[in-house]
Each structure stands twice: as C-alpha cells, then as structure tokens.
Amino acid sequence: MRIKKGIFITFEGIEGSGKSTQTGLFCKLLEREGVDFVKTAEPGGTPIGEKIRNILLSVEHTHMTSKTELLLYAASRAQHVEKVIRPALEKGQVVVCDRFSDSTLAYQGYGRGINRDLIMRLNNVCTDGIMPDLTFLLDMDVEAGLARNRSANKVDRLELEGVEFHRKVREGYLAIAGDDSGRVRLIDSSGGIEEVSSVIKDEFMNFLMTGNYVV
C-alpha cells in the first residue's frame, strides 16, 4: 500500500480501554502493508518527553497541582511535535500516536475542570496547529477499564484517581467525538482484542478510500 502524503493518526481512550494494545496491532497492520510509519506516544516520544512522562505518572507525585500537570503535558507535546511528529509528516510518513491533544482536553479539561478554551489555546501553541487526520477513540465502561488495568497490575498516578474523575474523562471524550465526528471514530472496545482490531482496520480502510489517500 502506498500513501500519497503524511497522515497523522491518534489512539485515545480512558484507562484500560485497550488503547496501547490496539495501537500496537494497528502498527503491525501498517507493517504488513508496507506502509512507512512512525509509532510514538504521549506523554513522551522524545528523550525530554520521557523524563516529563516519568514525573507526570509517578505515584510519588500525587501532590501535583492541576496547572502544573497541564503545563508538563504541554511541554512534552511541544518537544514531541517539533522533533518527531512534524518531521515525519513532512517526509510523507504515517504517524501513529498513542494519545495526543484530545487527552489533555478530556483529562485536564473535563476531568480536572481547567478552562477548556485555555487548554485549546495552549494546545495550539504546542502543536503549531497540527491536528490528527484520524482519531480512534476506544470507549468502554469506566469501572471495567479500571478493572482491566488492575488485573494487569498497571498503576500510575492518574489511575489512582477516583471513579468519578474517570467518568468525567469519559464524558469529555464522548463530547469531543460528538463535536468532531468527521475525525474521531468511536470504537466500542469492550469486545475481544481481535474483534476491536478488525473494526479499526475497516474504519481505517474506509478513511483511506474516501479521503483518496492511496496511490
């Protein structure tokens, strides 16, 4: 498969929605199809970003303020866009990113209650206006997602938040999907891994065909 130009694809979702698993499976699909792609993630994606990620997710930093959290995510994203995402897109590569600016709006905006217009303005500064062309939003019941992570012994600072916080995050994601249905594809991730992966593949192929991205 030959892609005409760089495409920016993101995976989003609440804790335990299978986002990282599906990102990996999607990249394997691209690899099988011979697509030139870059796989990355937020927070992180660069040496500086990884250091910021460690600060953000450490359970030792439960005292972190919401504004500090927001600005650390923004700093990581600014570095990520400048050093990884923009150069790859300019080369015509497909960029696949596990979380991006939608996460900030959902977690810090809807979850923390920080002014959403402020978050969007800050995101524009960090990204220079770069937005995903396609976003897969993996959605499922909050309690079920948190239970998945507990069974996998996955714990970080955000996962220690109460259920109500994560419900607000999910509500935020659903609002984002409703506001930008052309970009965001809502995927029910409560089913089996292969079942969800198949749905994502079909959505991606439809995106390529209707957007005339394939040579």
pLDDT tens for 12-37 read 999 999 999 999 999 999 999 999 99
Q: What is the pLDDT of residues 163-186, one digit of tens each?
A: 999 999 999 999 999 999 999 999
Q: Is residue 2 part of a domain?
A: no
Sign of dihedral through CA atoms 10, 87, 52, 47?
positive
- The domain tally of the chain equals 1
Note whether 20 and 98 are within 8 A (CB): yes
Domain of residue 89, CATH code: 3.40.50.300
Greater model confidence, 147 or 85:
85
Greater model confidence, 47 or 160:
47
Q: Which two tokens stand for residue 175?
A: 């609002």
Strand (E) positions, 1-93?
Answer: 7-13, 37-41
- Its domain, for residue 44, covers 7-211
Mean pLDDT (the chain, rounded): 94
Q: Phi and psi for 39 in degrees, rounded to 5?
A: -100, 130
pLDDT of residue 112: 96
Note whether 7 and 134 are within 8 A (CB): yes
Q: Is residue 122 part of a domain?
A: yes
Q: Is residue 1 part of a domain?
A: no
For residue 17, the one-letter residue type is S
Cα 203 to Cα 127: distance, rounded to the nearest angstrom:
26
Confidence of residue 59 (pLDDT cuts 50, 70, 90): confident
Confidence of residue 152 (pLDDT cuts 50, 70, 90): low
Q: Phi and psi for 188 in degrees, rounded to 5?
A: -75, 115
**Is 159's pLDDT higher than 80?**
no
Q: Is residue 194 part of a domain?
A: yes
